[in-house]
Structure 1
């Protein structure tokens, strides 16, 4: 029988791993970490380049859209301005026509009122006396003269006369406007 004899102790191979944390920190990075860093850096640089390209493309598109919008806005503004000028011209001509018609009707109304007063002057003479009949005849002549002046002047001349009257008599103008407004409101209320 053979006895078991102890085997001589063999030495264990030393590990290449550092034994402490300080030693691990000071050790050089492994090849895998270095490769990961280089790939990450490349990805970041690629993302920056892509973002710069997208920014440039966005600025170019924005400039194109802005130019298109300005061009269309200018075209629409020109069209709108032309239509507005057309409508304003139509409104001016229509207002001028209405003013001429109004002037003619006012002249006719003054002539008609003058005739009515003249025809009623003898009745006033009989009922109130000769003095009041003369007042009626003077009023009739005054209405007739005013109608003739109104018919002789153009609408523009009448407008200028009205402006001049307002400049010279602002108090009277205000009073006339108040009375006319009151009468118109009473007329349209009914």
Structure 2
């Protein structure tokens, strides 16, 4: 028997095919490893996202509580301010009587009583009730609401501009 001699280039083909198979196996291993790492990163990102969502909800809840506290404090200060204004008007009604007449003094006393009653009503309502009243007023007359908002904004801008 005569030994068969390999065909020219067959050894190179066989090495090339072996290298190709090895490259395919390496690519498959890299793909599997990349999939595992991507899954781990995805889980890590999901955990971070859930942590951030929980943290944002916590900040939101804290802001809501603080906002409610500030609204209650603002309501109390507004009530005190209205009551003080009513008292000033009442205390000066006699001056109005002397300068402009009893009729205008009575107007001042009526305004004083109205301011005092408004302060009492404000004290009796909760912040939620006041908010609902404001929403209802806006629904009934949006033009008046815009006008009031513009006036309040103007007054606040004048107040803060003057305090510099």
Q: TM-score by structure 1 length?
A: 0.80
CA distance in 2: counterparts of 1:108 and 1:155, whole angstroms? 15
What residue number does 2:36 align with? 64
Q: How much has 1:137 moved relative to structure 2?
A: 1.0
Report the 3-state secondary structure (helix = DSSP H, G, I; strand = E; otherwise coil) of the residue aligned with 2:92: helix
Deviation string 1:40-65 (CA, Å, 9 cap, x unpaired) is 11122112201211221121011101
Aligned partner of 2:120 among 117, 139, 148: 148
Deviation string 1:138-173 (CA, Å, 9 cap, x unpaired) is 111111111011000000000000010011011111
Q: How much has 1:84 moved relative to structure 2?
A: 1.1
CA distance in 2: counterparts of 1:167 and 1:63, whole angstroms? 56
Aligned partner of 1:176 among 119, 136, 148: 148
Q: TM-score by structure 2 length?
A: 0.92
Report the 3-state secondary structure (helix = DSSP H, G, I; strand = E; otherwise coil) of the residue aligned with 1:175: helix
Give the number of the structure whose alpha-carbon radius of gyration is greater: 1
CA distance in 2: counterparts of 1:155 and 1:119, whole angstroms? 30
Higher relative contact order (CA 8 A, sep 6+): 2
Task: Give RMSD over aligned pairs.
Answer: 1.2
Unaligned runs of 5+ in 2: none
CA distance in 2: counterparts of 1:92 and 1:63, whole angstroms? 42
CA distance in 2: counterparts of 1:169 and 1:141, whole angstroms? 27
What residue number does 2:133 align with? 161
Aligned partner of 1:81 among 42, 53, 56: 53
What residue number does 1:120 align with? 92
Greater fraction helix: 2
What residue number does 1:94 align with? 66
Deviation string 1:109-158 (CA, Å, 9 cap, x unpaired) is 11111100011111101101111111111111111111011000000000
Count of residue pairs brought into register by the alignment: 158
